[in-house]
Amino acid sequence: MPAENERRQRLLQLAAGAVFLAIVAVAVLIVVSSGGSGGDTNLEEKAEVNRLLSGIPQKGLVLGDPKAPVELVEFGDLQCPVCKGYSEEILPPIIEGKVKRGQVKIDFRNFTIIGPQSVPAGAAAIAAGEQGRGWNYVELFYRNQGAEDSGYADDAFLKAIAEGAGVKNIARWEKERQKLTPEVEKTTAEARRLSFSGTPSFAVKGPHSNGLEPLGTPGSTGAMEEAIEKAS
Amino acid sequence: MSRPTSFPSEWTLQRLIAFVAALGVGVATYIAIADSGGGAPVCIAGGSGCQTVADSSYSHLLGVNVAVFGIVGYLLLLASAFLVGDAARFGGFVVALGGFGFSVYLTYIEVFKIEAICQWCVASAVLMTILFLLSATRLIGYAGAEGELAADAG
């Protein structure tokens, strides 16, 4: 059956070619995705951020049950090293305790004082919040922060943080973040109205607080929890 | 390139492909439905790996959940299992090869980029690997043969 053998030979040659092409395609995909341009290869502590925030509702830049009786507001600058320290040490016990239990929600508001890159960084966080990944963005940014106002927070860095934070529609995020500078300016003005001058500054609002009460910068988790208790 | 003699019949391979592809449709559909509700597949052994993978930007391609591409691939493989002739053998092989290659890429992303493992994605990758092996066996064993003769063989 020479015709059958010929057809068989041709098909198997085609299959071998397809296997070769598939190997090349997968290798190219892996090389491209491991490249540094806008990728998130080098992001630190992504798994830790995911673990910390797992199962906690987020809306915009508010973390926690929307019906939580107490609201803790953080006025922060993503480029601020002290804010990074709060994000890594002071706030996690509150997030894992009172926030997870639905007793308090934390609202991150931009208070941009460090440098010009703080504004697009803050707008990028709000845009991530519009896709339900605002707090992942804020936390991941803090944990990958560079030297203060050294110019590291460029477009590629912001995009890498967005990808690492799990923002699903990057094109939409890119488009929206360009329009959100007024939001950043608005919360910065609000912080100044509350007489804050440094970051992070906190305020609390609850059934027993006098509206949005400025707390300043409580120096420990315990001091923060005490203020939350008082407002509850 | 003659045909090996100890091959299972093509009909047996077709039935196996249909069975595994149907399982794949189920797994991929579950992942897609869980994601469309804004959630994630439930990791049976616990942990937050499925949530982490579903939340990552890699779970979508061009705005479409990658599980949807999986459903399409498994359905094409299911169709190839019910068809006879070289077009079905070669078409099935190419789809399974593409699916297998994509699974290798996604597994790399899970391990090295997202740093989390989703059991449902692993299950899909295993099913696609089996389908690739079955489709390759079908093509190597029966390429060039008439459909009816191959169905009677073995």
Mean pLDDT value across residues A51-55? 85
**In this complex, which of A12, A136, A162 lies closest to B140 when CB atoms are compared?**
A12
CA of B63 to nearest chain A CA: how many angstroms apart? 6
Residue B58 near residue B113 (C-beta atoms within 8 A) = yes
Mean pLDDT of A5-33: 90
Length of chain B as a residue count: 154
pLDDT grade, residue B115 (50/70/90)? confident
In angstroms, the separation between the Cα of residue B118 and the nearest Cα of chain A is 14
Q: Which residues of A touch B63 (CB under 8 A)?
A: 168-169
Per-residue pLDDT tens digits for A122-144: 999 999 999 999 999 999 999 99
The stretch B36-63 carries a mean pLDDT of 73
CB atoms within 10 A of CB A36: 10
Question: What pLDDT, on the 0 to 100 scale, is given for residue B63?
Answer: 74
CATH for A46-231 is 3.40.30.10
Chain B contact present for A56, CB below 8 A: no
ipTM greater than cut 0.85: no
**Residue spans per domain, chain A:** 1-35, 46-231
pLDDT of residue A1: 61
CB contact under 8 A, B52 and A169: no
Partners of residue A39 in chain B, C-beta under 8 Å? 113
